[in-house]
């Protein structure tokens, strides 16, 4: 008899499809800079000129311009947030099959890191894109946050609600 697919299975599949499509697009098709420059007043960014660090090249207002600087943080926030959601979905999906929670969380984290590595590798195969170990680390951090948030907010649910028979 087939079991009903839980919400977390659909969310995981959706994220994998979104990551694959996004990694298949050259940077020029994804660039937010034209829209940021056109629709937003980025004058506030000048106050952030003191921020400068290395992330596969210099990240600063001077190096990237106002729109490039803002775009960098939007793109990295997207990495972090999509992997937070992936971490939540994967640990929910895994905990339905594996106990105790620590083992389910470890397995979910391993799967999330594997997805991040393959996503960055896929970007290497796409024109105008690079795969960065820094992005894998950022994605892994997001997944870990998601796994910990899941534990924090859903740990009090009775086990009967966690697994449907």
Over the chain (165 residues), what is each successive 10-residue block's mean pLDDT? 85 98 92 94 95 96 96 97 98 92 96 98 92 97 97 66 44
Residues in the chain: 165
Compute how many other C-beta atoms are within 10 angstroms of the C-beta atom of residue 23.
19
88/145 Cα distance (integer angstroms): 9
Residue with tokens 């979905």: 89
Question: In sequence order, what are the residues at sequence separation of 6 or more whose Cβ sits closer than 8 angstroms to the Cβ of residue 2?
Answer: none
Q: pTM of the entire structure?
A: 0.88
pLDDT at 2: 62
Query: Is the separation of the CB atoms in 67 and 37 below 8 Å?
Result: yes
For residue 41, count CB atoms less than 10 angstroms from its CB and return exposed for 0-12, middle for 13-18, buried for 19 or more: exposed
Helix ranges restricted to H, 42-132: 61-95, 101-124
- Rounded to 5°, the CA angle 141-48-74 comes to 40
Name beta bridge partners: 60: 52
Task: Give the start-to-end residue ranges of the domains of the chain.
Answer: 14-23+32-155
The dihedral region occupied by 63, where left means phi > 0, alpha psi between -120 and 50, and beta the remainder, is: alpha
Distance between CA 123 and CA 117 in Å, rounded? 10
pLDDT of residue 43: 94
Predicted pLDDT at 127? 84
E strands, 1-156, in order: 52-54, 58-60
Q: Could you tell me how far CA 69 lies from the centroid of its own chain? A: 19
**pLDDT computed for residue 157 by the predictor:** 55
pLDDT at 3: 76
């Amino acid at each position: 008899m087939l079991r009903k697919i839980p919400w977390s299975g659909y969310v995981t599949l959706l994220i994998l499809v979104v990551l694959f499509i996004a990694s298949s697009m050259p940077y020029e098709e994804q660039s937010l800079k034209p829209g940021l420059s056109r629709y937003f007043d980025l004058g506030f960014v000048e106050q952030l000129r003191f921020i400068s660090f290395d992330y596969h090249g210099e990240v600063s207002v001077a190096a990237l311009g106002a729109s490039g600087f803002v775009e960098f943080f939007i793109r990295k926030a997207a990495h972090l947030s999509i992997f937070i959601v992936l971490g939540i979905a994967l640990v929910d999906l895994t905990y339905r099959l594996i106990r105790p929670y620590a083992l389910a969380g470890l397995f979910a984290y391993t799967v999330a890191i594997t997805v991040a590595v393959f996503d960055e590798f896929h970007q290497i195969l796409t024109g105008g894109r690079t795969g960065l170990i820094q992005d894998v680390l950022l994605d892994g951090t997001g997944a870990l946050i998601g796994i910990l948030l899941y534990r924090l907010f859903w740990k009090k649910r009775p086990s009967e609600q966690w697994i449907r028979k």
